[in-house]
Amino acid sequence: MPYKTYEKVKAYSIGETPDSGFVVLTMESNYSCYDDFNSSSISILVLFRLDSSGDTLWTRSYLQDYENDQHELCFHLFEVIVSQNENLLLYGSYYVGEQQKTWLLKTDPLGEPIWENTYDYNNTEAVTQGPDGSIFITGGHGGQGSPGTAFILKINQNGDQEWVRYESEPIDTKGDIIHSTYDNGIVVAGDYTDWAMGSTGPWLWKTDSLGNTEWDINLDAEGLNNVGNLVQQPDGTFIIAGGWGLSYALLNMDDSTSYSFNYSGLNPAIDIKSMSGNTQVTLINNNYYAEIPHIVIAKTRYISSYCTADDVTDGVELWGECYSIQNTTELDLSYMEITGEIPPAIGQLTNLTSLILKENQFSGVIPPEIGSLINLTDLDLGGNQLTGEIPPELGSLTDLTILDLAGNQLSGSIHPEICNLQSLTELELGGNQLTGSIPSEIGNLSSLTFIHLEYNQFMGEIPPELGDLNNLVWLNFVHNQLSGEIPSSICNLDMNWEDPNNFNISENQLCPPYPSCIEEYVGEQETANCDQVSIMDETFPLTYKLHIAYPNPFNPVTTLRYDLPEDALVNITIYDMVGRI
């Protein structure tokens, strides 16, 4: 590749684009690591876009006229990642003035900047992206500095820091490698130092999507003294490549070891990548301790313990059938009277676009691994006996248009992450035991035409953001505990208010005055807790209401109680069972 400005070039990172081309990130400078640094020492970061034949399509330069000393030029970090939407993410750890910081630059597919930001972390080492485009960074000083603990830093798609989580073991740890996992979690590999035991070695840390620790493990006992890199297989197994010599360790999702082995005569692995067909390639730098220095590439194949599908591709066994991981795009098992839990292995069918398991007898929780099925457009688990909360991982299914979880026994609140599903047209959560308030973020679901939340235990006010859902045609909030006044913004909706199949909010505790568009269609409301109108120290009801006769009207004497919002003449007519007065 030709240089763009300065003839001394250091390559940092390469990524593959969806059209089988490449992006290559380099640093160009007018001096090398071994030259004396002076006021004329200048560097620039250069990104090359290549086609599949290696020909240059364009170049872009960043960090113009960046001054850095020799040590930094040799050892600072930069990386480029190609996102699923073909945007590019550039990461760096370098000095801004006299402080080392972490730098991110997001560009469009042509390398034009979208946003750029720096973060006050001087010890980051690696970056990855989650399935929803979130950015995760790891680092830590380990035994070399303070703080002596690894961490995960989350940056959202707009470049804003959302949270940071620190590893909690009472030993010093450092994150060098980070990847997202099939269950939407995160895995970090690096080193640990246990000063009390006088030991150090490779280490692995697994968290959920929010950075909460699920497990961590020291890898000394697995035959490794370092980690080159790791990959995850569709069945969840981690393949870790490292050393003594060239060694591999296979870990299950629960951190138990399923297999480990090594090859003699080779140095430790420095990288491993997944290829097609469950194969991997491992890179080994065999320059040391070899009579003839050379680089070794080792190819391996992982044999899944699951099954082989009818089309002779790797599969996953579900309910007695073997489904192809590669070729299963739709799965409809509705009305099959299937019992038991939905297995987490369903998350391995990563090409699914439609998953319909309605009207069975499934129990247990909704597995968060379903959040890995990022190609889903239709998810229907209605009419079962599912319990627990709606997993926030479902918020990663950004292509989802239909989400039906009605008729189960789900509890907890609606997580705000669910309101990230901007392609959603139908949201059916009726007939559960959901609590809390309807989140204001519901207004983000701009494509929504159908929302059913009836027969739950939702409380609080109807959020005014509901009026932003211009496409909404069906709304059912019957039989909850919604209270307060109904926002006037609800009249922004173009809805058939008269038809209870389209609009129904009865059996709540909503208070008058009601917006004019719906004042005749609010149905039965319990207004006992609403503010009453006080006139001359007397309290009057706000609406007309006839209460149930007490005791049973078939008794010799019964009481009829009614409410009037104002003084009026009352005529009471009593009919018998056949309609006679």
pLDDT tens profile 170-186: 778 889 999 999 888 99
* Lowest-confidence segment of 243-252, 355-364, 489-498 by average pLDDT: 243-252
More confident residue, 227 or 301: 227
pLDDT for the residue numbered 65: 53
pLDDT for the residue numbered 251: 79
Q: Say if 2 falls within a structural domain.
A: no
Query: Mean per-residue pLDDT for 251-271?
Result: 70
Contacts of 332 (CB under 8 A, 6+ apart): 354, 356
Query: Mean per-residue pLDDT for 379-406?
Result: 94
Query: Mean per-residue pLDDT for 229-239?
Result: 84
Q: 171 and 33, same structural domain?
A: yes
Confidence of residue 293 (pLDDT cuts 50, 70, 90): low
Predicted confidence (pLDDT) at residue 426 exceeds the cutoff of 60: yes
Q: Say if 563 falls within a structural domain.
A: yes
Predicted confidence (pLDDT) at residue 579 exceeds the cutoff of 70: no
Predicted confidence (pLDDT) at residue 559 exceeds the cutoff of 80: no
Mind listing the pLDDT tens digit for each residue in 183-219?
Answer: 889 999 998 888 777 778 888 999 999 999 999 888 8
Report residue 447: phi and psi, to 5°: -90, 0
Give percent of the chain above pLDDT 70: 81
Predicted confidence (pLDDT) at residue 553 exceeds the cutoff of 60: no
Q: 539 and 525, same structural domain?
A: no
- CATH number, residue 160: 2.120.10.10
- Alpha-helical runs (H) found in 344-461: none
> Measured between alpha carbons, how far is 467 from 438 in angstroms, rounded to an integer?
13
Q: 320 and 245, same structural domain?
A: no
Query: Mean per-residue pLDDT for 301-312?
Result: 74
Q: Say if 179 falls within a structural domain.
A: yes
Domain that holds residue 351: 307-532
More confident residue, 234 or 502: 502
Confidence of residue 572 (pLDDT cuts 50, 70, 90): confident
- Phi-psi category of 277—alpha, beta or left, where left has phi over 0 and alpha has psi -120 to 50? left
Q: 205 and 227, same structural domain?
A: no
* Lowest-confidence segment of 88-102, 219-233, 237-251, 257-271 by average pLDDT: 257-271
Q: 320 and 230, same structural domain?
A: no
pLDDT for the residue numbered 295: 67
Q: 192 and 64, same structural domain?
A: yes
Contacts of 388 (CB under 8 A, 6+ apart): 364, 365, 366, 410, 411, 412
- CATH number, residue 439: 3.80.10.10
- Residue 319 has what DSSP assignment? T
Q: Say if 264 falls within a structural domain.
A: yes
Predicted confidence (pLDDT) at residue 517 exceeds the cutoff of 70: yes
pLDDT for the residue numbered 532: 55
- Tell me: cis bond preceding 551? Omega within 30 of 0 counts: yes
Confidence of residue 66 (pLDDT cuts 50, 70, 90): low
Q: 427 and 453, same structural domain?
A: yes
- Total domains present in the chain: 4
Q: 328 and 297, same structural domain?
A: no
Q: Say if 160 falls within a structural domain.
A: yes
Contacts of 406 (CB under 8 A, 6+ apart): 382, 383, 428, 429, 430, 431, 432, 452
Q: Say if 3 falls within a structural domain.
A: no
More confident residue, 194 or 467: 467
pLDDT for the residue numbered 258: 59
Domain boundary (169, 186, 219) is at 219
pLDDT for the residue numbered 121: 87
More confident residue, 567 or 462: 462
Residue 9 forms beta bridges with which residues? Answer: 28
User: Which range scores top for mean pLDDT: 224-238, 292-306, 514-528?
Assistant: 514-528
User: Mean pLDDT over all residues of the chain?
Assistant: 83
Domain boundary (261, 283, 304) is at 304
pLDDT for the residue numbered 145: 43
> Measured between alpha carbons, how far is 274 from 229 in angstroms, rounded to an integer?
11
pLDDT for the residue numbered 458: 96
Predicted confidence (pLDDT) at residue 69 exceeds the cutoff of 70: no
Q: Say if 381 falls within a structural domain.
A: yes
> Measured between alpha carbons, how far is 115 from 94 in angstroms, rounded to an integer?
18
More confident residue, 122 or 426: 426
Q: 247 and 106, same structural domain?
A: no
Give percent of the chain above pLDDT 90: 43
Classify residue 501 as exposed, middle or buried by CB count within 10 Å of its CB (0-12, 13-18, 19+): exposed
Q: 167 and 33, same structural domain?
A: yes
- Residue 390 has what DSSP assignment? P
Predicted confidence (pLDDT) at residue 242 exceeds the cutoff of 80: yes
pLDDT for the residue numbered 464: 94
Q: Say if 41 falls within a structural domain.
A: yes
- Give Dmax over CA atoms of the chain in angstroms: 112
Q: 548 and 502, same structural domain?
A: no
Classify residue 566 as exposed, middle or buried by CB count within 10 Å of its CB (0-12, 13-18, 19+): exposed
Domain boundary (515, 532, 549) is at 532
Confidence of residue 312 (pLDDT cuts 50, 70, 90): confident
Query: Mean per-residue pLDDT for 345-351?
Result: 87
- Phi-psi category of 287—alpha, beta or left, where left has phi over 0 and alpha has psi -120 to 50? alpha
Q: 133 and 59, same structural domain?
A: yes
